[in-house]
Structure 1
Amino acid sequence: MTTELLDSTNVVDTSQACLRKAAPTAGALGRIGSLETRLARSAAEVDAAQAVRYKVFVEEMKAQVAPEAHRRRRDADRWDSVCDHLLVLDTSIEGDPEEQIVGTYRLLRQEVAERAGGFYSTSEFAIDPLIARHPGKRFMELGRSCVLPEYRTKRTVELLWQGNWAYALMYGVDAMFGCGSFPGVVPEEHALALSFLHHNLLARGDWAVAAQPELYRTMDLMPSEAINPKKALAALPPLIKGYMRLGAMVGEGAVVDHAFRTTDVLIVLPISNISGRYINYYGADAGRFSS
């Protein structure tokens, strides 16, 4: 998310009745210029999204994957078969749709995860107690977000969020969560940003969630009075900063992902926390960039 800092001064009705009534129709979820966002429609498009993920996570970020993944040049796992895959496509590129895919997000709804053996994030964070405290709410996991380098612009990110928002409305989602990553496997290298998140955005009460005990790495690496907020904000990865601007919270403790060479934190975003200015920008019916 690269839009300006958002606030919550506007009051918007986000009741489930309102959200379901505003559900978008099938097809494109948004369009800006030649860029379009929609869900993958075929196995070939999912395969193409996995190829984009391989380029970003393995070739660019040097993630460690199995030999078969290197042979196929695809980032893939067992969750791909049960998730929905949000795509950004550049329709100005001639050829098959899978050749147009320039960005992707993986979306996993709670009811699907329960049938498939759980959420991806449970390998790092204790998600089940969080969900158990909200029996009447529907959760959605966001993951595997990536965009090809030449398309890392404001409009591409806006379209990804347009797609996420439209999808959440479509399925009456009450809360989103997912891992946000810092580069590298040494949390202390991100002491300023991690400590800022710990002291200012920690999820509490019914929304509290923590890293799995055996993987827990403290985020409390600096005292609150030693943190320069402006410098801390500048040190946050864009995706985490974007979640924060929407009204997200973070779980307690970080996890080092050695395979992907990242330090992960859990982002928790109740729909009721999303700032009114953000909802007004994209539209309560996700209609701002709809086609």
Structure 2
Amino acid sequence: MKYRNRRQKRGQMKGSDKQPQRGGARRFTPIGKRPVTGNRWIPGLRSPTGRILPAARAAAAPTLGQIGSLEVRLARSWREIKIAQQLRYHVFYEEMSAVADAQTLATRRDSDSFDNFCDHLLVLDHDIKVKTNALGRKKPQIVGTYRLLRQEVAEMHGGFYTADEFDMQPLLDRKPDLNFMELGRSCVLKPYRNKRTMELLWHGIWAYVLMNKIDAMIGCASLEGTDPNRLALPLSFLHHNFLAPEEWRVRALGERYTEMNRIPKDELDGRAALHALPPLIKGYLRLGAMIGDGAVIDHQFGTVDALIIMPVSELNPRYVNYYGADASRHKA
């Protein structure tokens, strides 16, 4: 799942640490009309723009899992976040077909305003040390990343990015007692695109879900290409076999809605459709993911996006048992 740059134009956004009230429908407060109160800050840890890094990204962020030389944890500094942005640029813009704007080309980093308040999950390889700047010590190489946005943080900063493509509010209104989290910007360096790296990333996500009492995960998953007719087989397969039930269903925004039901179910070649799906989407489906109603064409990133919905209560028990109900399987 990935996020986009379109919200850069919103500029810096203020927030509060007030907890949303449970038991009633919660709507995102428009930017500029939100009360600002104290947040949990770590003194002295600032971004290049002067924005202070939240406590979740402090230097004390614990290791969430380890397999051999690989470690998964949250980013501990803005320098680590910048390296994750460079990794995202390499994957999205150099390997894939994303179209960079002038700022992205100049910095060679995939970044937007959401990076200022999301948590960044990292996989690091301690067997490979690299210099992060000319004068600094060598640090473990960052080889994979995911971006995590908790609902309480999203509500402080104008909402989930997914709301740019899908109408999220009806789902939030139907599930006012649940705590949602958005997944995005998933990418891994090519030599590390293997079971071990993905296992660590998902171990880190599971540990994060437990720590923050997350009830459901959402986010956009992409199929490469912008012609839905060329993607008719996988899109139709997702629609016919994994469409979320009404209580969980989210519809693509009207002006961006792209029909996924392009081939009748009885004409589908299921094996060919599975083969056409990206590995990440197949991984989500194995976990128990459901799909929203309609897809969205993202011309900037050269993809067609489907919405992934994963209630924690509906996760495949094999996944939960494998990583442990307390996320202890790969605990350091």
Q: TM-score, normalized by length of structure 2?
A: 0.79
Contact 2:61 2:76 in 1 (8 A): no
1:140 matches 2:181: yes
Q: CA deviation at 1:149?
A: 0.8
Q: C-alpha distance in 2, partners of 1:270/1:284?
A: 15
TM-superposed deviation, 1:242: 0.6
1:73 pairs with 2:105: no
Aligned counterpart, 1:180: 221
C-alpha spacing 1:152/1:55, structure 2 compared with 1 (3 Å): same
Which residue of structure 1 aligns with residue 242 of structure 2? 201
Asked if structure 2 preserves the Cα contact closer than 8 Å seen for 1:44 and 1:98, the reply is no
Deviation at 1:65, TM superposition (A): 2.2
Larger fraction in helix: 1
Q: Find out whether 1:84 has 2:119 as its counterpart.
A: yes
Q: Which has the larger radius of gyration?
A: 2
Match of residue 7 from structure 1: none
Match of 2:302 among 248, 251, 261: 261
Which of 146, 158, 163 is 1:117 aligned to? 158
Letter in 2 for 1:196: F
1:272 corresponds to which residue? 313
Alpha-carbon separation, structure 2, partners of 1:99 and 1:187: 40
Give the 3-state SS of the residue equivalent to 2:63 in structure 1.
Answer: coil
How many residues in Structure 1 have an aligned counterpart in Structure 2?
Answer: 267
**Counterparts of 1:166 and 1:200, CA distance in 2:** 29
- Percentage identity across aligned positions? 57
Q: Which runs of 5+ in 1 are unaligned?
A: 1-24
Give 1:26 deviation, angstroms: 4.8
Structure 1 stretches of at least 4 aligned residues deviating more than 6 Å after TM superposition: none
Equivalent-residue separation in structure 2 for 1:98 and 1:212 (angstroms): 43
What is the alpha-carbon distance in structure 1 between the residues aligned to residue 319 and residue 129 of structure 2? 34
Aligned to 2:57: none
Contact 2:126/2:140 (8 A) holds in 1 = no
Alignment-derived partner of residue 5 in structure 1:
none
Distance 1:98 1:104, change over 3 A: farther
Of 72, 95, 112, the residue aligned with 1:60 is 95
Larger mean Cα displacement after TM superposition, 87-96 or 175-184 = 87-96
1:143-222 matched pairs, under 5 angstroms:
143-222=184-263
On the 8 A contact 1:195/1:219 being kept in 2, the answer is yes
Contact 2:127-2:140 within 8 A present in 1 as well:
no
Match of 1:248 in 2: 289
TM-score (normalised: structure 1): 0.89
Q: Cα gap change, 1:97/1:141 in structure 2, threshold over 3 Å: closer, same or farther? A: farther
Q: What do you get for the CA RMSD once the two structures are aligned?
A: 1.2
Asked whether the equivalents of residues 45 and 98 of structure 1 are also in contact (C-alpha less than 8 Å), the reply is no
Partners of 1:260 and 1:228 lie apart in 2 by 28
- How far did 1:108 drift? 0.0
CA distance in 1, matches of 2:245, 2:138: 43
Higher relative contact order (CA 8 A, sep 6+): 1
Question: 1:58 is matched by which residue type in structure 2?
Answer: Y
SS of the residue aligned with 1:187?
coil
